[in-house]
Structure 1
Amino acid sequence: MGVMTSWAARFRLRQYVKASLWIVPMLGLVLGALLAELALAADRTDWPPSGWHYSATTASGVLSAIVGAMVALLGFVVTIGVLVVQQATGTLSPRYMRLWYRDRLQKAVLATFTGTFAFAFSLLRSIESDSVPDLGVTLAGAAVAVSLVLLLIYLNRFTHSLRPVAIAELVTRLGATVLTDGARAIRGAAPRGDGDGAGPSGDPVMRVRTVRGGAIQAFDVPGLVAEAARHECVFVVTRLIGDFVPPGTVLVEVHGGTSEPDPAKVSDLIALGAERTIEQDPAFALRILVDIAVRALSPAVNDPTTAVQVLNYIEWFLHTVGTARLPGRYVLADGRGDARLVVPGRTWDNYLQLAVCEIRDYGSSSVQVCRRLRAMLEGLLDALPAQQHPSVRAQMTLLQQSVERQFADPARRAIAQQPDLQGIGGQDPP
């Protein structure tokens, strides 16, 4: 299996295309030049009407102005991008940048600008004293109008969507979608069920090690199941999605089988990259939310209200996780019902610790954060099944101990121990 045709290579290519800010604008540049040629060909017919004709001087001036304006607007959008990077790395989370790079509106705006630039520039060369691309000049003006409308939409969107609360909502929705879709995909790949199904026993007959290091971004679950079925063996994946593995790490243990699978083929069904992605990793969404809250609690920012607002969405995400089936290990079967793939997964405890521990530690001196955390944990106890309660009660005990250490004064301690959905200023408990 060639490197460029492997599943992992195609996955990395898709990730690169999604995160790239130059591919779509480059396509717009090429499309603009091609449309200019079509406009020149249309000008050789009896269209456009006589009222749309321009003099050579007017057409040249208009197109030159459009070329300059598009270059200036491109610079303006790039400046906004630099400001976004500064804000994200300073007050939000650098991990959020992977999502921001993928915004389709931003790419559409850049593609429209580059396309209009190429369109107008291509028409300039065809202007002569007795030959003017009337249709092209008219279309160039219309393209400028479209570009300005998209720019206004772009500014409105990013003015509102760069607020921490808006980012928290976006990340929470993405994480919840990945969690539910991933659970559905696992159920679809496991006719005999998942979780506590029979896995392999005994020592592995073969270990597949990674050649290159990186963060595990995704598994090709159907491909791994099919490859294991082909050799009548069972693959046991040893690492979680999101783990960083150095070169030489054992990624897959092979149990049983009538023949040995090709290690290169198996490795190519696991995508490694420079950093985590959200496609198969809902915990990465929670990681981003916690990062934003922790940065808001840092002494340099000192904004506990933002942390409380992010906790609202962390609670939303935890309610989604808490109602899902998370056995910690998934045994996936082939079409005949034979176990072929064992994949590790995160448990409810893992998600809850990720959501609470750091915010509790960094926000223990904030009455607002302590009260909101307690309200969140009590809400989880009220809404989630009984099997999730022990972990929640353990976190409540840790929160209680943290409050007792931080607030020596009994009156302040009593205030910090009260649950409040707004942190401070909400409804008093009954």
Structure 2
Amino acid sequence: MKAGLLRLADYLGSSYWFVPTIMAIGAVLLAIGMVTLDATLGSSWMGGYAWVYASHPDGARQVLSSVGGSMITVAGTVFSVTIAAVVYASGQYGPRLLTNFMRDRGNQVTLGTFIATFLYCLLVLRTIRSAEESGGYGFVPNLALLVGVLLALCSIAVLIYFIHHVPSKIHINSVIEDVGDRLLRGIDDRFPRFIGEAPGDHDSTAEKLPATFRDTADAAVGADRFVVTAKDTGYIQFLDDETVMRVARENGLVLRLQYQPGDFVHIGRALVEAWPPGRCDDKCADALRDAVAIGSRRSALQDLRFLVDELVEIAARALSPGVNDPFTAVTCLDWLSAALSDLAGRSLPSHLRVDDDGALRVIAHPVTFASLMDRSFGALAQYCAADMVAALRYLNALGEVSLDCDEPDRLATIRAYADKLEELANDGLKGFNLRRVRHRADELRAALAEPDYKRRLRDGTAWLAGTA
């Protein structure tokens, strides 16, 4: 249930229609309320304010007609401008970034403001009656008319904001900043937040791993498990870790998750495997299926790799021969290095998760430092190796990440990608450009080989301010 609700909330948040619809409903309620208030108070209260005067029916109709007609015209223009910006962004930065523009609150509120103002004026307009039309009793909702004028003024302010917002939003630095900031917030939110608790003694917990889940299990032992299959085809958007742990604890199960958020799963594939198989019935299987939200596209709710892929896609497009914009790739590398630096200083989860009593309950597929390095720097190495500016910043970014690394395995991963870039640069660069990249790679490797590598990297002018 929770997974489905979060998936729905993410869908509504990324839709272009939800906020304008809510604002339109609010405009309808506001119009009804203001007309009712006008009918109750009348227009006698206006005599005490010199700047407010009662309008005649014809004048009120003209004002509301002008405001309403102009608002629906501007709403159409706003929609057209938004679609044009979306088409431009899709072709320039990649189709996966469309969601970022569709979920932008500025665009949604702008469209909603004009539609809401139009609906408000339309509903108030139909309540205006002259004395001839109503048989001697006219009605002009002066207070509602005043609110309509105020809404028109607000709409003008929103239009000015929108004219500034659209070009600034599609600026490449703003696009990259939005993705990079969400990636940093995602890392901060996901770590160290795990399914259950990490085992205090990893080795002893690993010894309790059921035989059916061991690599050494034969065919008979390996089949001793209950398989919960996927009910849909698509990408895993959200995994309700609390429900998974609760089901495992209540039924005395050890669950192995076959996928993680962002993976593509086909209907009928093994989604979760449970042991002992006799304790997992259909009700338990349905609860586990409901804990996994599957949709037609990837979501950044729990999928850090999706945000990394977006930055990689922008950088790869920028370094393509048709675009040849290395400085956009440099900006992506800066944000990737910030994210990997943040991750390098954190304790990442074990794949074995225990409950409050220390019993093994879940075998997961956590995100690792090496996997995100491969997803980011590994994917960009072939593109950066063909451009000197991007290659130098690539090595600088590796140096920045190493400043937050204390584990030898992670430092070895960084050295491996420095070697990979140099190897690829031997084919992609020549002459002076190649010598500069080799020199920078040698500097990085020499610094990382020393125990005080952090001081050496900080003191070296090549790393100050990320100079390329």
Give TM-score scaled by structure 2 length: 0.83
Shift of 1:378: 2.4
> Do the aligned residues in 2 keep the contact of 1:364 with 1:402 (CA within 8 Å)?
yes
Q: Deviations over 1:80-108 (max 9, x none)?
A: 22122212211113222223222223222
Q: Deviations over 1:54-104 (max 9, x none)?
A: 122221111111111111121122112212221221111322222322222
2:211 counterpart (202, 206, 214): 202
For residue 25 of structure 1, what is the aligned residue in structure 2?
20
Superposed counterparts of 1:6-405, under 5 Å: 6-44=1-39, 45-47=41-43, 48-50=45-47, 51-129=52-130, 130-186=138-194, 189-190=196-197, 192=199, 197-198=205-206, 200-203=209-212, 204-256=224-276, 259-262=279-282, 263-327=285-349, 329-387=350-408, 388-405=410-427
Shift of 1:428: 5.5
Percent of aligned positions with the same letter in both sequences?
25
Instruction: Mark the CA change 1:143 to 1:205 in structure 2 (over 3 Å): closer, same or farther.
Output: same
Give TM-score scaled by structure 1 length: 0.90
Q: Which segment drifts farther, 378-387 or 57-66?
A: 378-387
Shift of 1:128: 1.9
AA aligned to 2:179 is V
AA aligned to 2:433 is R
Instruction: Mark the CA change 1:379 to 1:20 in structure 2 (over 3 Å): closer, same or farther.
Output: closer
> Do the aligned residues in 2 keep the contact of 1:231 with 1:258 (CA within 8 Å)?
no
Aligned length: 417
Instruction: Mark the CA change 1:195 to 1:213 in structure 2 (over 3 Å): closer, same or farther.
Output: farther
Instruction: Mark the CA change 1:429 to 1:314 in structure 2 (over 3 Å): closer, same or farther.
Output: closer
Specify the SS of the correspondent of 2:110: helix
Q: Tell me: higher relative CO, structure 1 or 2? Use CA pairs within 8 A at least 6 residues apart.
A: 1
Distance of 2:89 and 2:202 partners within structure 1: 38
> Do the aligned residues in 2 keep the contact of 1:207 with 1:254 (CA within 8 Å)?
yes
Instruction: Mark the CA change 1:104 to 1:368 in structure 2 (over 3 Å): closer, same or farther.
Output: same
> Do the aligned residues in 2 keep the contact of 1:164 with 1:292 (CA within 8 Å)?
no
Distance of 1:270 and 1:127 partners within structure 2: 54
Q: Which runs of 5+ in 2 are unaligned?
A: 131-137, 213-223, 442-460
> Do the aligned residues in 2 keep the contact of 1:322 with 1:348 (CA within 8 Å)?
yes
Distance of 1:214 and 1:108 partners within structure 2: 31
> Do the aligned residues in 1 keep the contact of 2:226 with 2:277 (CA within 8 Å)?
no
Specify the SS of the correspondent of 1:59: helix
